[in-house]
Amino acid sequence: MDYNPLYSHASKVYGLPGFEPAVVDADYLKDLGVEVVPSAHTLEGLERGSSVFASRLAGRTLIPRTSFELSQIDPSAVKTEIHNYTGRCPALTYEINPVRGCGAGCLYCLVTDGVHEQSLVAYDNYHLYVRELLDRMNGPQSPNQNHYYYFSPKTEAFQEATLYTGIAHRVLMEFISHFERFPESQARLFVASKAGIRHLEYKYDGVSVLDLFQQLKGRMQFNTSVSIMPDALRDLLEPYTAPLQDRLKAVLACRERGVQANSALVQPIFTPSLTPDGIKDFFDRLHDAGIINYKPEFLTACMENLAMLGQYLGYFDKSLERQLYSDYIGPANADHLKQRGRTAPDRALSVECIHRMREYTDTLGMSVSICYWVRKQLGITEQDIPLINRNGFQCLGYQSRLF
């Protein structure tokens, strides 16, 4: 099924005037002014990524096709996935992933390393699995178990494939039905989404996502997912997503309906953007939209992906590209790996950046929530950032006061 995206910056991905892909090798880094000397293994990854980038750019396979196929699932055969991979999340969190692949097309994607060449498959009857899962985990046998249901960690919850088919609407209606049948249920819906206002206002059978959210108020939270990077770069790297101002309009619309929507997943953070002016501009916009908590998550990338992201950043500012490589490719940082072997920025710099953001956001009354992996990697103590902060948020941004 072909579709028209609700938002699109796709033409910019392939049409940057004067842009030509390069080979990010030792000479390229030296000419750019990068002073750290990467290992041979790191260089191999950067060179390999440069070749893949050039090939995908020429073949126009960098971003997803605007089409999907519908499929059915056997609800009893779906593997139940638990999201708290660190083992330290505040409650068992079950994943809701009704699409294989993602139409947002983020070139830094955590799930695919920015590769979007697979077919997008949407499961038309996925809501039946959600019904079975809710009954099993929070039904009559265990209504008081504190469980989060994360919609959706491996794909965008509110993309065309879930909206145009009614899949997203049916998933939400399963939660509404569940609470009608089991009023004492301690199931809680956690949404982290790049959705803009057009996504949440989309109606299926005359009912919008916002209409359904309103029926779930008090039992769900909506966390907008926003990135810290230049706006022009965001348009390139998030080709089918809403611009920042429309995501913040979605936040305001949720709160107008009584839905908890005052925390943000700030991901990914491009460290070169964390200048005093960059921090102030970004967090002022979040604060004006009523955001009181944020979970910072730095860009993590395999070296193959970093070669592409760096070149796109360098198109706008070579000094920012130089800083990006410097922040990631040093030999001492080679073991700073997140899941699936993705490299995070230099540890000392990461700590400095968190303090830099906090120094300003404290003046706005905003709190910070930090996941266990980041705490462990960076040595962040509970005295520095409490497990449950003053605004009641923890870990990924879960709101403990919902229970």
Q: Which tens digit of pLDDT belongs to each residue from 57-113?
A: 999 999 999 999 999 999 988 988 888 766 666 678 999 999 999 999 999 998 887
For 255-306, what is each residue's pLDDT tens digit?
999 999 999 999 999 999 999 999 999 999 999 999 999 999 999 999 999 9
Chain position carrying tokens 């191999």: 44
| Separation CA 190–CA 129 (nearest Å) | 17
State the amino acid at position 299 in one-letter form: L
pLDDT of residue 85: 60
With CA atoms as reference, report the closest residue to 98 among 34, 154, 25, 52: 154
CA distances from 63 to 1, 28, 347, 390 (A): 17, 26, 31, 40
Handedness of CA 380, 381, 382, 383 (dihedral sign): negative
The two tokens of residue 215 are 């029926």
pLDDT value at residue 143: 79
Ranges of each domain in the chain: 10-402
Average pLDDT over the chain, rounded to whole? 94
Q: Three-class SS of residue 2?
A: strand
Q: Tell me the chain's radius of gyration from C-alpha atoms.
A: 21
What is the tally of helices (H) and strands (E) in the chain?
A: 15, 14
Per-residue tokens: 355: 């303090």
Residue owning tokens 């939270």? 221
User: Is the pTM higher than 0.75?
Assistant: yes
Q: What is the pLDDT of residue 330?
A: 94
What's CA 61's distance to the chain center, in Å?
A: 21
Give the residues across from 71 on adjacent strands: 123
CA separation for the pair 401, 190 (Å, rounded):
13
Taking residues 168-197, report their average pLDDT: 97
End-to-end CA distance of the chain: 40
Among positive and negative, which fits the CA dihedral 249, 252, 256, 260? positive
Percent of the chain with pLDDT over 90: 83
Are the C-beta atoms of residues 53 and 21 closer than 8 Å to each other? yes
Q: Which residue has the tokens 């059978």?
A: 205
Q: Can you give the pLDDT at residue 32?
A: 98
Output the pLDDT for position 374: 86
Q: Which CATH architecture has domain 10-402?
A: Alpha-Beta Barrel (3.20)
pLDDT digits (tens, 9 = 90+) for 135-145: 999 998 887 88
pLDDT tens digits, residue range 13-71? 998 999 999 999 999 999 999 999 999 999 999 999 999 999 999 999 999 999 999 99
State the DSSP code for 302: -
Q: Taking residues 372-391, what's their average pLDDT? A: 89
